[in-house]
Amino acid sequence: MTQADPSELSICIMTRDDLDRAIDWASAEGWNPGLKDADCFMTVDRTGFLVGCLGDEPIASISVVRYSGAFGFLGFYIVRPDQRGCGFGYRLWQAGMDYLEDRTIGLDGVVAQQENYARSGFVLAHRNVRYGGSPQIDTPSDTRLRQVTPEIIDAVLAYDRPFFAAPREAFLRCWLQPDTRTAMALVEDGNVRGYGVMRACRSGYKIGPLFADGEREADLLFQALASQAKGASVFLDLPEPNQAAIRLAAQYNLSPVFETARMYRGEKPDLPLSRTYGITTFELG
């Protein structure tokens, strides 16, 4: 069978069905996406999700969301296995780079692709490592722990701001909705000292983000969230430079199961990794 030429690839903005398909592809690649991620992803940049098709057949995906005029994030860069090695992925990649223009771009790429990303100007910042296990945890009793409700959501949004390279209020207002996720904050003397979110995934549950002022606060939030999993698998995507986060994972018998290379093209954001115990998502940063 004659291989199609990359120029035959048509590139369009994803429909919601296209994004659901891309999430299925990500699941097949071992990324273990959340069950209700798509709606929140699309709040960031409705036109930043691209699909590549041969005729009417989708064969490749990429997300290139514009968080602001200065920062974007790349994810879902997947070519269907039977169409790899033909140049389709690179053509879609070029379209995505064009869409993000001269913004600083972040990505979490599989380690095997790190050299390819470097050829496009991306520089390694650090590794993110997914830890997983089935912790047996009782729900902690601490009056500082509060569910994220409308009464404190603005304070949580303000707390989140230093942890990300651009404002992401629309995304977080969706991400913190209690009907699809469990969101907890640690509030002391009226001030947010940390917060975390747990959501159901294709396999088990994932905690992300998990941001806290210190180890004790992160531990309490982790207990409050992971205890709701009732012994099911729990995953935490943590930045390797944060040794306190690694200690937290080890304390609850979580082991490394997956890793990515966090890379940036352009100026690397100055983020508080020492207070980052779990990143939000590999797909959108």
Q: Is the peptide bond before 209 cis (omega within 30 degrees of 0)?
A: yes
Q: Distance between CA 10 and CA 260 in Å, rounded? A: 29
Q: Distance between CA 115 and CA 172 in Å, rounded? A: 32
- Phi, psi angle pair for 179, to nearest 5°: -75, -20
**CB count, 10 Å around CB of 55?**
9
Quick one: 84 and 210 in the same domain?
no
Q: Which of 212, 213, 190 is nearest to 143 (CA)?
A: 190
Tally of structural domains, the chain: 2
Tell me, what's the pLDDT at 1?
43
Please give the DSSP secondary-structure letter assigned to residue 34.
B
Quick one: 259 and 154 in the same domain?
yes
Residues of the chain scoring pLDDT < 70: 1-3
Q: Which SS3 state, helix, strand or coil, does residue 202 take?
A: coil
What CATH number is given to the structural domain containing 265?
3.40.630.90
Quick one: 186 and 260 in the same domain?
yes
- Phi, psi angle pair for 240, to nearest 5°: -55, -30
Q: Which SS3 state, helix, strand or coil, does residue 17 take?
A: helix
Quick one: 181 and 233 in the same domain?
yes
What CATH number is given to the structural domain containing 61?
3.40.630.30
Q: Which of 110, 108, 146, 112 is nearest to 125 (CA)?
A: 108
Do the bridges between strand 234-239 and strand 205-212 make them parallel or antiparallel, or are there none, so unpaired? parallel
Tell me, what's the pLDDT at 94?
96
Angle 37-44/16-28 helices, nearest 10 degrees? 120
Residue 66 lies inside a defined structural domain of this protein: yes
Quick one: 243 and 172 in the same domain?
yes
Tell me, what's the pLDDT at 111?
83
Quick one: 69 and 139 in the same domain?
no
Residue 1 lies inside a defined structural domain of this protein: no
Two structure tokens written together for 37:
């991620």
Note the pLDDT tens digit of each residue in 229-270.
999 999 999 999 999 999 999 999 999 999 999 999 999 999
Tell me, what's the pLDDT at 3?
64
Note the pLDDT tens digit of each residue in 186-234.
999 999 999 999 999 999 999 999 999 999 999 999 999 999 999 999 9
Contact 278, 210 (CB under 8 A): yes
Quick one: 68 and 29 in the same domain?
yes
Residue 118 lies inside a defined structural domain of this protein: no
Q: Which of 43, 88, 93 is nearest to 65 (CA)?
A: 43
Q: Distance between CA 161 and CA 152 in Å, rounded? A: 15
Quick one: 177 and 86 in the same domain?
no
As a whole number, the mean pLDDT across the chain is 96
Two structure tokens written together for 202:
């294709």
Residue 208 lies inside a defined structural domain of this protein: yes
Confidence (pTM): 0.95
Quick one: 145 and 221 in the same domain?
yes
Q: Can you give the residue range of the structural domain that contains 69?
A: 6-107
